[in-house]
Structure 1
Amino acid sequence: MQRAVRVVVKGRVQGVGFRPFIYGLASRLNIKGTVQNNVDGVIIIGEGEWNNLLQFNGQIKESAPRLSRIEYVAVDDITYKGYEEFSIIPSVATGKEVSLISPDAAVCEDCINEMNNPLDRRYKFPFINCTQCGPRYSIIHKLPYDRPYTTMASFHMCTVCREEYTDPTNRRHHAQPICCAQCGPRLELRMSNGQVCEGEEAINKAILLLKSNKIVAVKGIGGYHLACNARAEEPINQLRKVKHRPKRPFAVMADCLETVMEMCEMTDVEEAVLNSSEMPITLLKKKPSYPLSDCIAPRLSTLGVMLPYTPLHHLLFREGLNGLVMTSANVSGSPILYKDDDCSFNQLRALSDAILTHDRPIYRPIDDSVVQCERDQITLLRRARGYAPDPLKTYAPVDSILALGGNQKNAFALGVGSHIFVSPHIGDLDHEEMVGAFREHLAHYKKWLGFKEKYVVIDKHPLYETNRLARELGSNVLKVQHHHAHHVSCMEEHGLKKPTLGIILDGTGYGNDGHVWGFELLYGDKGSFERLGHLRYTPLPGGEKAVKEPWRNAVGMLINSFSQEGRELACALFPDRKREIDLIENMVKKGVNTPLGGTCGRLFDAVSAMLGVCSVSTYEGEAAIKLAEFGQDQAKKGEHYPFQIHDLNGTIQLDFSSGLYEIASDRLSMKPTRTIAQAFHRTVVEMSVQMVMSAVKKRPDLNRNVVLSGGSFQNFFLRDELKKELSERGFEVFTHRLIPCHDGGLSVGQLIIASEWISRQSAKKGSEKDVYRSPS
């Protein structure tokens, strides 16, 4: 007996070859009807024998394309109409929800094989793609995902491409960026002398320049990279000079896994991540026989590595090139360059010796993602290409809430229905150029999602740029405490509802008492929190200057804790800065431009400076990162430095003064830096554990779930050792995986906290005035 059903599939089902997949499945099972995209997802009308329809519905989930992500399938019986065939019908821009768009995907193996086949019509074609690979997010103007709504709209398909595009049995059926050498895009190399090369000549000339130790700007999926030979110091040092990036590590693109294995150690999990459709930058441990210059990642034991993820990248790896330094084309702290206008080209000329570009526009820029693997776990450190714009599913009522995140590692979040859309990594909002990039990203997301915010959520820090941005938006503005947002972001990732303990270790966060927090023990949920414990406050001479010059932080701590003896220790540790130490002593005693703070990041900075590892930071977290190099490779058990635990009006206070004194003494007595750093790492773990144990001793009723969040947990030793130590004491510990532990995940926590506050106010029938409010 013939039956008819209507199937609605929601999730990431556009731009991933889903309709051709449905067409093929229907053909095999002798099902007639239609498949169509709309804004909600994919709508299928199927008619056939009941057993065939049952198989059809089952295989939709079981055999879906690899880039798809099905969240919901609804099947309803409908009236049988008697379709004579199964067909793909045109998309419609209707629907109530937002369909999930596939992130940009690395070029697939099938396309690479075609590109390397001299008999294939796309031989050496730098823009080859299919339904399972190629640009998505970076070229989409609006939904639904169809060619007219992408930057490929101006490229008219040749006859052969059109046949492939319309053939339901073809791998490129409805591959929106489909193209070939006949119908474009076109590649060209712009030389500094004004010469322009096109097509294969452009690639060959670019290779010669790279082999000659020149810097070439290369247009990728989400913006321009600056590329140079990874095996030559001269162009790498020049790259540092033009980018104003003296020490921050660069990433390397290797031609293949064999080259990666020559440079770094690699587990099966890391190999799988490197080869995935996301192809992120993956942090790997350098081999003892590491063949590249130390100037790529100075004084670090790890290297960020990625594989070629566009056809153009693959074509560059010829004639002996097998490793390229690949870094975003911008001056450090500025937005990535991605436009093809005179202003961008002028900037690219100042940064490089030649520009390898093409005429397929990038609609939205996106940086490379960064991940780190630990055993079988993958942790996102920068969420961008390959992962964004995939949303997070939530059960919280987040609709119409916009969370702006923080000032560092910014990423905002929008609540739409039952999803949280987190923007790609934007960067630090330190100047107007970056704020402009933020505004562009936000405007795009709002247009794409049809989003209109009813509430805007910001951090409590009064000087954050997001504060001004929120006022401009003109909606109800809610303020959320920094570390509460960190706490709840980890809870949300793991679906934790009941109050939990939270160890929040980071660099800087504005506290409810006006001081700088960052070594916190919190207890609470999305509705509220208690501050159960923290590190004792010490002065930060010069405020932000103490962050950039960690030696100032160390001097402030020593003088604050030990007065005259502390000054003498500071002079002994920093003998070339005695005059400045006198000024800092005066600042500390008089409290002039010297905020108080107790943060893990600043504690790491101070110890790093005291040990001579890093006295002045040239990039965020440099002092702590370099100290971690000495402290992590160690036996898990061992001595730690002394510290005291005090009760300060019912709040636990960690006092590390005695430990700081011993570290200074050990340094001056020439104890090995590695030994001191290892003991310090163990001390931070021990202080955190004892803070938790003190809290549960005072309050045995506390839930024994613990979340770990904050930027300091990018130090995997701290994360893993704390997890192990607490687990041995009966706690269940949760850490970040999909949401960055640093401020890149802040907006998720902000959004959830605001959602709860709004729900409670609604239940109380509170008024909604356009005023500043503080959920936490």
Structure 2
Amino acid sequence: MPEREDALRCRLRVQGIVQGVGFRPFVHALATRYRLTGRVGNDMDGVYVEVQGPPDRVAGFRADLVTHAPPLAVVERVSAETIACRAESGFSIASSASGGPSRTLVSPDMATCDDCLRDLSDPADRRFGYPFTNCTNCGPRLTIVTGVPYDRASTTMARFTMCPDCASEYGDPGDRRFHAQPVCCPKCGPHVRLVSLDGTEVPGGDPIAGAADSLRAGRVVAVKGLGGYHLAADATSEAAVRVLRRRKSRDAKPFAVMVGSLDAARQLCAVDPAEAQALGSPRRPIVLLRRRPDARIASAVAPGDRHLGLMLAYTPLHHLLTRAFPRPMVMTSGNASDEPMCRTEAEAFERLAGIADHLLAHDRPIHTRADDSVVRIVGSREYPVRRSRGYAPAPLALPEPARRPVLGSGAELKSTFCLASGERAIVSPHIGDLENYETLRAYTSGIDRFRRLFGIDPAIIAHDLHPEYLSTKHAHECADVELMGVQHHHAHVASCLADNGETGPVIGVALDGLGYGTDGALWGGELLVADLAGFERRGHLEAVALPGGAAAIREPWRMAAAYLDAAYGGAIPEGLPVARRNAARWHRVLTVARSGVNSPWTTSAGRLFDAVAALIGLRDRVSFEGQAAVELEQRADPAETSAYTASVTGSETLLIHGTDLVRDLVDDLTGGADPPTVAARFHNGLVRALAHACFRLSAETGLSAVALSGGVFQNVLLLCRVREELEQMGLRVLVHRSVPPNDGGISFGQAAVAAARDARR
């Protein structure tokens, strides 16, 4: 067709998540529909498009480019310039251009789409029962990418040469696998095998059926997923789950459970529409749900927990396994406790020996680890607990752009790191606790990998003030960078501000376990007046001793002793059950607390929750972080409306008296009140004290917004009641939306603080 005399040629630059999500095939189809000539290609900046034709058709193309983008694409920005027309016919997909720094983004891994599930289930389809079925709308992304631009050669699928049938689909603009980089089939793609931990093949023709037989026999099977290995066991078998607990050295922390369908999830838990949407989303997180009383699930899966962490199958391999083994399966990280997930077969053989009986392995390499994400639903919206597979590394917006590239190095527990440049912040998948050497190695290698992948070479490293955090030490080992210390609770509040696209100032309520204060003390129940660049400490919980230091974190009864001693001025009432249960060491711990030796003072809200849990007899010792506080939330009677009273004193710095709550609690217990009532009244009392303190600060400062952050706000009962109380006072409340309130969000907060400080100076 001859070109019209008024033809226009336009060059477009599209930035965002536009590689590996079917964007080029979409552009090809769109240009063909508008009868335009030109080309589209990937490069280090994203996607470039040249279209030529009548101005009205070019304008229509440009509008649809954004409004009708593929489901996994995130178009951040489109810039355009008019260029000289060229004589050409048709529209083509150009070879990817490489070279120079990368400024493109990588999509998170996504669950198998409905179209691919139909292929998987259709006996007439050549991918029937094939565990690696995928298309441009689903499948692995981050976990297989080795570089950009995103092409097959830059993924771990490079080793698999496409057969003629797959190559035909890959090259057909009308096929949904057009330019889908991981495309493969049983003839040319990866394969599954079932092996023992000594490397020998398990006899039998179907590895997935063999794995199901192993689960039915009560064995533990290590299953290679998208971002690492999981340990699977029959979740209906008490014996199988207890074997897994013993071998994994995980005494009580709840296990996640995988099922094959939403109907199967509803047999185990109450699932409201928002929860159903989260479960079935392409991100497929673990969703914390209320367990049904009649749920057919072993008690050892989540001991004493009224909730269950459920996820639906999200890869073809998982779907096939849930069909072969239709019972609920424990599906927990493939590691010994506190280690990172195993990523390679070699790691699995070395680190899972003695834990797993069999490996359901395959030969598609995993380049980047990505553990499962965890969310709760609060007010019909997702409230993140752990951000990883399905969410990372989708970029987050910085309210104040980073003038120079920044690395937020994160905290010590629930570690993540964050790379930021310009308006974008890229938070890593969840890594874990850096106290473990293997996790520290995963952390440092992950930083190096992301720096190369996203082309961000930090000029500033923002780090926690705690000198013993390994993330802080790593920052100090880096050369040719500016180091910037960010106080732990300021980072919490900043992460909540940035998560809501705001710069402040706000009243920040940061409640967590422990964080290093600017005065060298251990903070944890803080009221800050803060913006992104700075803060002023305007209130906190009263300080009590932490008897025995870290031992008091592992043994909440020590905090009960410290709070009782502070509440009663040393004249603790006789006969309290917590003192009787720990009589052998009670007076020695009180002596340590009073001496100040290895008993630093702390304002920690987490330790107050620990003390209350021990006082009402829930838990004297914990086997994982936050265990006592979780059980306290679970035990609280949601129908109880009365509250204990905590005074709020002071002028320049407000002091919330947790000891008042403890005295009321002891009076209640000795009067015969039951633990659910006591737990609820404690929650309500703390809520009212926090709200009263925020209202006072609002009156003094004129600020009307409050940001809630810190790991204690994973307690949804506390979160919802604090928010409700503040809103009734006419205050605007900010809560987390995309990053967790716990230390998994610290790196994002650090990056936001560093960017704001650098921009303002």
TM tier, shorter chain? over 0.9
Q: Does 1:538 align with 2:544?
A: yes
Q: Does 1:495 align with 2:497?
A: no
Q: Does 1:686 align with 2:692?
A: no
Distance 1:656 1:385 in 2: 39
1:459-495 CA distance string (max 9 Å, x none): 1112211121112113321111111111111111222
Change (3 A) 1:199 1:457: farther
Q: Does the 8 Å CA contact 1:188/1:199 hold for their aligned counterparts?
A: no
Return the letter of the residue paired with 1:743: D
Equivalent residue for 2:82?
77
Q: Secondary structure at the match of 1:284?
A: strand
Distance 1:738 1:319 in 2: 35
Q: Secondary structure at the match of 2:338?
A: coil
Change (3 A) 1:14 1:690: same
Q: Does 1:442 align with 2:447?
A: yes
Equivalent residue for 2:697?
695
Q: Secondary structure at the match of 2:609?
A: helix
Change (3 A) 1:320 1:11: closer
Return the letter of the residue paired with 1:651: T
**TM-score in terms of structure 1 length:** 0.95
Find the partner of 1:582 among 583, 587, 594: 587
CA shift for structure 1 position 417: 2.6
Distance 1:403 1:201 in 2: 46
Distance 2:301 2:260 in 1: 17
CA shift for structure 1 position 294: 2.0
Q: Does the 8 Å CA contact 2:398/2:752 hold for their aligned counterparts?
A: no
Return the letter of the residue paired with 1:672: D
Q: Secondary structure at the match of 1:196?
A: coil
Distance 2:637 2:186 in 1: 51
Find the partner of 1:573 among 562, 574, 578: 578
Find the partner of 2:661 among 659, 662, 666: 659
Find the partner of 1:327 among 329, 332, 340: 332
CA shift for structure 1 position 633: 2.5
Distance 2:642 2:616 in 1: 18
Equivalent residue for 1:768?
none
Q: Secondary structure at the match of 1:322?
A: coil
Return the letter of the residue paired with 1:757: R
Q: Does the 8 Å CA contact 1:274/1:282 hold for their aligned counterparts?
A: yes
Q: Secondary structure at the match of 2:109?
A: coil
CA shift for structure 1 position 669: 4.0
CA shift for structure 1 position 96: 5.8
Q: Does the 8 Å CA contact 1:573/1:668 hold for their aligned counterparts?
A: no
Equivalent residue for 1:148?
153
1:407-466 CA distance string (max 9 Å, x none): 111111111232111111111111222111111111111111222221211111122111
Q: Secondary structure at the match of 1:501?
A: strand
Find the partner of 2:185 among 164, 180, 184: 180
Equivalent residue for 1:705?
705
Distance 2:31 2:203 in 1: 44
Q: Does 1:479 align with 2:482?
A: no
Distance 1:706 1:395 in 2: 17
Equivalent residue for 2:533?
527
Find the partner of 1:644 among 635, 644, 647: 647
Q: Does the 8 Å CA contact 1:225/1:328 hold for their aligned counterparts?
A: yes
Distance 1:425 1:659 in 2: 35
Find the partner of 2:166 among 157, 161, 167: 161
Q: Does 1:308 align with 2:330?
A: no
Equivalent residue for 1:766?
none
CA shift for structure 1 position 153: 0.7
Q: Does the 8 Å CA contact 1:106/1:277 hold for their aligned counterparts?
A: yes
Equivalent residue for 1:216?
221
Change (3 A) 1:451 1:569: farther
Q: Does the 8 Å CA contact 1:404/1:466 hold for their aligned counterparts?
A: yes
Find the partner of 1:371 among 375, 383, 395: 375
Identity rate of aligned residues, in percent?
38
**5+ residue gaps, structure 1:** 762-776
Change (3 A) 1:419 1:193: closer
Return the letter of the residue paired with 1:558: L
CA shift for structure 1 position 568: 3.6
CA shift for structure 1 position 513: 2.0
**TM-score in terms of structure 2 length:** 0.97
CA shift for structure 1 position 192: 4.8
Q: Secondary structure at the match of 1:24?
A: helix
Runs of 4+ aligned structure 1 residues displaced above 3 Å come to: 94-97, 192-195, 197-200, 567-570
CA shift for structure 1 position 527: 2.3
Q: Does the 8 Å CA contact 1:413/1:751 hold for their aligned counterparts?
A: yes
Equivalent residue for 2:568?
562
Q: Does 1:284 align with 2:286?
A: no
Find the partner of 1:349 among 345, 350, 353: 353
CA shift for structure 1 position 32: 1.0
Distance 2:313 2:624 in 1: 27
CA shift for structure 1 position 3: 1.8
Q: Secondary structure at the match of 2:400?
A: coil
Equivalent residue for 2:3?
none
Find the partner of 1:44 among 45, 49, 61: 49
Q: Does 1:362 align with 2:366?
A: yes
Q: Secondary structure at the match of 1:618?
A: coil
Stretch deviating more after TM superposition (139-148 or 558-567): 558-567
Stretch deviating more after TM superposition (559-568 or 396-405): 559-568
Return the letter of the residue paired with 2:563: M
Change (3 A) 1:373 1:200: farther
Q: Does the 8 Å CA contact 1:541/1:556 hold for their aligned counterparts?
A: yes
**5+ residue gaps, structure 2:** 1-5
Equivalence map 1:672-751=2 (5 Å): 672-697=674-699, 699=700, 701-751=701-751
Change (3 A) 1:234 1:94: same
